[in-house]
Structure 1
Amino acid sequence: MCSTSQVTSQKMENYSSLIFKKIIYVDDDNIYGPWNGTEEHPYRYIRDGIINSTNGDFVFVYNGIYNETIKINKSISLVGENKNSTIIDGSYNQEIINLTKDNIKLINFTIRNSGGNPYNSAIRINSNNSLVKKCEIYRSKVGILLNNNIKNTIDNCTFYKNGQGILFDSSDSNFISGCVFTHNSIGVQFEKSKNNNISYCYTYENGISFYLNDSKEINIYQCNISDNSVNLGGVFIENSFDVTIGNSIIAHNGAGISLSSSSGISIFHCDIIKNTHFGIAMRSPSKNILVETCEIVKNYRYAIYIEKLNSCIIKNCNIYKNNLYDIYSRLVRCSARLNWWGSIFGPKYIESLYRGRITVFLSKIRCFPWYLRQIKDIGANWKGNEPYLKKINIGLQQKIFNFTGKDIDEDGLPDWWEEKWGYSPFIWDDHKHLDPDNDALNNFEECYTDKFGSNPFYKDIFLEIDWMESNHPDISNKPSENLTKEIVSIFKEHNIALHIDIGNLDGGQEIPICNSAFSYSKLQDLYWKYFLQNDLNNPRKGIFHYGIICNYCPDLNFPFFGWDQFDSFAISAKWLKESNPLTSMENLIGGALVHHLGHTLGLIADTYGGIDNTGSSQIFSIQWLKYRNYKSCMNYHYKYKILTFSDGTNGRGDFDDWKNLDFSFFKNTIF
């Protein structure tokens, strides 16, 4: 058997490349002392090791759970014994680790549980030339916050269950490499930052993978951006310029790449495949967009969507087998010469069951000449099978409930609730794993919602609605009681108790006005402030779905990740009315509400081809003929006309939404 000294010596060999003056040891098992930082008498707390270090020292931390917050104000190396079992827990304080000195190295830790207020973070970097490596960071408002600094490196780290995995705020010339992002609202966010690089990273099951706003010179290279939100998900670029995305796999997201008011965007050697809404979407006016040497294949709706005076060049790409549109254009001029369209006859301009088409609406798209055969050696030159692509088993967060009343059998639920619902208060029951009605609410959650009328033997769905103050004194964005009662009655017909909270179930409130469109990150902040109450342990999370009705938000209406799951949606009430002036506000709000509640219950584009199919709203089109019997608000043709899902009894092309509801999808999202 090796001695502790021998084991430590073996572990230190892993850091032989680091240059340091002396080693200081920390071990939380040394409860009674003495404490002098030696291997025989290590400090008990990490902060003591830092206090007693000097620039250039190496602080080695043995396995354990360290419930403390740390300020590193010296150029030291702080290294954990094992990243999975050397844990720094912030206990929901504002910041867990704050780096305030240049040239710090932080390696081999799990860091968890920051505060829930804006800019609270697991790691805050206020230094330059620092390194964070081989760390797992989860359950924080922001995983790593870089604020006004340069030349830091984040390498081989894992980020999950954070608001933002990494947030760059006015930070330049930093590097992210070999990291994994999963179940974050936003994987990496850039605000007013430049010359930053992301490479060899993997994102999956995030709300948005990479979000760039008011930034420039951002390079994304050889990343796998796959299986993220089926409505957002991929790379979102707003008000930014000189961005390159290269040699990356961008697959099965809502939008693979979305551009808005940006310029100098270069997309090359990428596989852009099987995205549910858009492979590439160019929205608000952008210019100097180059898409080159890409495989743009098998996207469900739009391979390339271009509108509003965008200018772009698309060349040397294979664009084929997309479901609805190879290119959809409106009010644009675009060069799409020298591509292969899946046929020697070039692109199609009429609808087909088997091929996408080019649609030109007040646009000019030049496609001739085109290649007569498929172009070889384009797209990503790797296929996503590198070791860092292994998925993480996240699991569900166990809530802590504080119930009042006696609990004779000590099974966690009070006797009054057990007696009410036929359980014996003298027999221990595993209530955390009991869900007799299969509505994804266990008996602890049913007990918590008992005051709201829940029944553990009858399916319940809870939905909180917040509404933004209207900018018109005579109009409210609050759903009317008549509307909510009508929706509740529809669900009741299918043996589901829908509880809509518009101020009557301890939530649901009017929130301050925001007159103009705001960013996706702002929407996330509203979720944290008004739904979570900035509390990572808010018990309503995982019980209530959440909707927010705004005047204008980043899109017309859409579901989103408020935090780590697909549990929320936003509705732009004023924008919706402007787009549909002949439809009553009641029908618009009601249709959007039920439609997006359906998304959080697992009714997504992957579930059935008639869901979110833009073609089905065009009367007499092939898609309309195929899905016209699918009489559901999940069908765009009926979205604002009816307030119910389909039961599958309407003939060919119909689908039974009610039977396919996934009650657990909003709390355990997998795409």
Structure 2
Amino acid sequence: MMYKMQFPKIVLIIIITSTLAVNEIRFYPVEAIPDIKKVPEEYPTIQAAINAASPGDTIIVTHGTYNENLLVNKSISIIGENPATTIIDGGQRGNAINVVSSGVVISGFTIQNGTGGLPYSGISVSGCNFVVINNTVLRENYYGLQLTNSNNSQIFNNVIMNNMYAGIYIHDRCSNNAFFENTIKNNIVGVWSSNSPSNVFYHNNFINNTNQLQAFPPMILDNGSEGNYWSDCIGSDIDLDGVGDAPFAGDRYPLMGMFVNFTLRYGSQIYFLSIICNSTISNFHFDRSNGKISFDVLGSKDTVGFCRMASPLTIIKNYTVYINDKVPIYIGNWTVSNYIYGYFLYLHESEPQRVTVMLDLPKNENPQSLFPILVATLLIVTALTIIILIKRKGKLDKNLS
């Protein structure tokens, strides 16, 4: 009888132990849970959702055109479904989005028609810190993005194009803002900056702006080893690393091709593969099952094309490259710190060519990550075995009695 009374305790201890093998128990103070608000499912307009939101909330906006001039005055995230189909139109009535609070995130929109009688913007950020703007198209505004006395923000992976004056307008003591992986094209001025020297631009593509850059005083235009692509830069790359041999327009390390960054999901991890290329890249695909990357390249027929790839050594140990199933004119691999680089040359043809890159991926992403699961499984199996043995013993005792 005593043995049966102890049985629930034994099983409970084993189950708790198996849980602790997988998860570390931590205690945190109780905080308000951020809310998700949906437009137009729950709120008819984005501004209505902003007004109802609390700091830390997220607003999810379904595709459509929203004719609004938004005032964002609290630290919230505003996420569009798709930048190609989720549009905020300022209607030439002023700033399409006016950000006056720190800690704001804006992502996944096309923002247009931030114009009017004064030099308005697609997004105006004034007196704020730690603002994030990414995966957004800013087009046909007076300024695509305007930063005024704002610091420590990140502006990345945006397309800023066809604005009436500056794609990015920075002034009034902005500092420590990072601009990277943006395409800034077809503006009167790509970037205009005054009295804001300590901002950094790298891995951006400056394409066909009437004036690519006007900065007083100059800004930081590289990350210490790589800068930006400039469509009017005609330089040399004798050492074949994708970076120009001489400075250009204040950029110490101008890129010899456009910069593109791709996401690789391998196992439970997310990695990034960056490519500098003088061809137009399309149809990128990563096949995790066989460790193969493929994409198309296109350029002027009979001209020399190049791609330079870079990725962490933790996922890729070597590159093997084919162009339309043939070996490139030249291919080289090298490592710097924790990154592996690959560079290859080819001749452009009249049609897109398929690039195939075979990756030497690690066989086991992280074998140790399986250990807690194995321990938990073993303990649960042990608990079930004890249950079976106790039941059998109970039946045996009953039969003997």
**TM-score normalised to structure 2 length:** 0.51
**Residue correspondence of structure 1 range 148-167 to structure 2 within 5 A:** 148-162=149-163, 163-167=165-169
Structure 2, unaligned stretches of length 5 or more?
A: 1-31, 235-240, 258-273, 283-401
Q: Which position in structure 2 is the counterpart of 1:225?
A: 229
Within 2, Cα distance between the matches of 1:135 and 1:250?
32
The letter of the residue matching 2:215 is L
- Taking a change above 3 Å as real, the CA distance of residues 178 and 272 of structure 1, as seen in their structure-2 partners, is closer
**Residue correspondence of structure 1 range 105-120 to structure 2 within 5 A:** 105-120=105-120
Within 1, Cα distance between the matches of 2:116 and 2:281?
29
1:372-403 deviations in whole A, cap 9, x for unaligned?
Answer: xxxxxxxxxx983299x759xxxxxxxxxxxx
Within 2, Cα distance between the matches of 1:106 and 1:383?
26
The letter of the residue matching 1:177 is F
Within 2, Cα distance between the matches of 1:386 and 1:20?
47
Match of 1:200 among 182, 199, 203: 203
Within 2, Cα distance between the matches of 1:200 and 1:166?
15
Q: Give the deviation of 1:94 after TM superposition.
A: 1.6
Structure 1, unaligned stretches of length 5 or more?
A: 1-18, 28-40, 235-245, 259-264, 274-381, 392-671
**Residue correspondence of structure 1 range 370-381 to structure 2 within 5 A:** none
Q: Which position in structure 2 is the counterpart of 1:168?
A: 170
The letter of the residue matching 2:58 is F
Q: Which position in structure 1 is the counterpart of 2:260?
A: none
**Which of 1 and 2 has higher RCO (CA within 8 Å, sep 6+)?**
2
Q: Which position in structure 2 is the counterpart of 1:26?
A: 39
1:93-122 deviations in whole A, cap 9, x for unaligned?
Answer: 121101101100011000011115553100
1:130 aligns with 2:166: no
**Residue correspondence of structure 1 range 556-571 to structure 2 within 5 A:** none
Within 2, Cα distance between the matches of 1:250 and 1:96?
41
Q: Which position in structure 2 is the counterpart of 1:485?
A: none
Within 1, Cα distance between the matches of 2:97 and 2:161?
17
After superposing on structure 2, the runs of 4+ consecutive aligned residues of structure 1 that deviate more than 4 Å are 246-251, 269-273
- Taking a change above 3 Å as real, the CA distance of residues 99 and 20 of structure 1, as seen in their structure-2 partners, is farther
Report the identity percentage.
24
**Residue correspondence of structure 1 range 598-609 to structure 2 within 5 A:** none
Q: Which position in structure 1 is the counterpart of 2:327?
A: none
- Taking a change above 3 Å as real, the CA distance of residues 53 and 195 of structure 1, as seen in their structure-2 partners, is same
Q: Secondary structure at the match of 1:48?
A: helix
Q: Which position in structure 1 is the counterpart of 2:84?
A: 84
1:177 aligns with 2:176: no
**TM-score normalised to structure 1 length:** 0.31
Q: Secondary structure at the match of 1:87?
A: strand
Q: Which position in structure 2 is the counterpart of 1:59?
A: 59
- Taking a change above 3 Å as real, the CA distance of residues 249 and 184 of structure 1, as seen in their structure-2 partners, is farther
- Taking a change above 3 Å as real, the CA distance of residues 50 and 167 of structure 1, as seen in their structure-2 partners, is same
Within 2, Cα distance between the matches of 1:90 and 1:196?
28
How many residue pairs are counted as aligned between the two chains? 224
RMSD: 3.1
Within 2, Cα distance between the matches of 1:75 and 1:103?
5
Within 2, Cα distance between the matches of 1:196 and 1:20?
34
The letter of the residue matching 1:152 is S
Within 1, Cα distance between the matches of 2:201 and 2:208?
18
Question: Do the aligned residues in 1 keep the contact of 2:256 with 2:277 (CA within 8 Å)?
Answer: no
Within 2, Cα distance between the matches of 1:122 and 1:20?
31
Q: Which position in structure 1 is the counterpart of 2:388?
A: none
Question: Do the aligned residues in 2 keep the contact of 1:142 with 1:164 (CA within 8 Å)?
Answer: yes
Within 2, Cα distance between the matches of 1:249 and 1:119?
36
Q: Secondary structure at the match of 1:49?
A: helix
Q: Which position in structure 2 is the counterpart of 1:68?
A: 68
Q: Secondary structure at the match of 1:114?
A: coil
Q: Give the deviation of 1:165 after TM superposition.
A: 0.9
Within 2, Cα distance between the matches of 1:250 and 1:189?
26
Within 2, Cα distance between the matches of 1:272 and 1:132?
26
Q: Secondary structure at the match of 1:51?
A: helix
